[in-house]
């Protein structure tokens, strides 16, 4: 959707911060929390959704509770950064449910992945059966997370945050 660029206002930020904490709130509870009446609150939420600021709503699960206690950060370097090699690698990892995140990087490695596994042996199978078989992979370096010190899905939405002001919307 191509809309004129407008800064997120204070109410948009409050709505977004509240939704990041608890997306299951009813519109009436959300409106009460941010200090709006339900109709304008719902209109703002719909505007944020339509513009793609709110991409989707999810339930965050505890990985250990559902059988994924091992978290691995994987640096992958390709032999060449040709478009076809990049696309092939991205298609392979994009199809794998244990790959939680994948980033094309600058620096020493071409990609950084966050992979979850049920065990070290399960990660070893993923490494041998999947990653090492992608044509054009030159090197793979795995680092196992020992402890999660911080994890957040909530983006910072401070009033002065330039990124939060780059949203596009029309009212």
Q: Report pLDDT digits (tens) over 98-138.
A: 999 999 999 999 999 999 999 999 999 999 999 999 999 99
Helix axis angle, 27-34 relative to 38-50, nearest 10°? 100
Q: Report pLDDT digits (tens) over 64-91.
A: 999 999 999 999 999 999 999 999 999 9
CATH code: domain 1-60 is 1.10.10.10
pLDDT at 160: 54
Name the residue with tokens 């109709």. Answer: 39
CATH code: domain 64-144 is 3.30.70.920
Quote the Cα angle for 81-101-23, to 5°.
145
Domain edges within the chain = 1-60, 64-144
Does residue 140 carry a pLDDT above 50?
yes
């Amino acid at each position: 959707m191509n809309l004129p660029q407008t800064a997120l206002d204070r109410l948009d930020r409050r709505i977004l911060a509240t939704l990041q904490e608890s997306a299951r709130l009813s519109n009436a509870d959300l409106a009460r929390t941010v200090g709006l009446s339900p109709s304008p609150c719902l209109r703002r939420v719909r505007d944020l959704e339509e513009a793609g600021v709110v991409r989707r709503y999810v339930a965050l699960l505890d990985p250990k509770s559902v059988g994924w206690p091992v978290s691995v950060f994987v640096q992958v370097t390709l032999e060449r950064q040709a478009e076809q090699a990049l696309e092939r690698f991205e298609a392979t990892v994009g199809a794998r449910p244990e790959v939680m995140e994948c980033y094309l990087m600058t620096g020493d490695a071409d990609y950084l992945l966050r992979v979850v596994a049920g065990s070290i042996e399960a990660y070893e199978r993923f490494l041998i059966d999947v990653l090492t078989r992608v044509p054009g992979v030159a090197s793979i370096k795995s680092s196992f997370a020992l402890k999660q010190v911080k994890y957040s899905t909530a983006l910072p939405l401070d009033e002065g945050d330039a990124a939060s002001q780059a949203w596009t919307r029309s009212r």
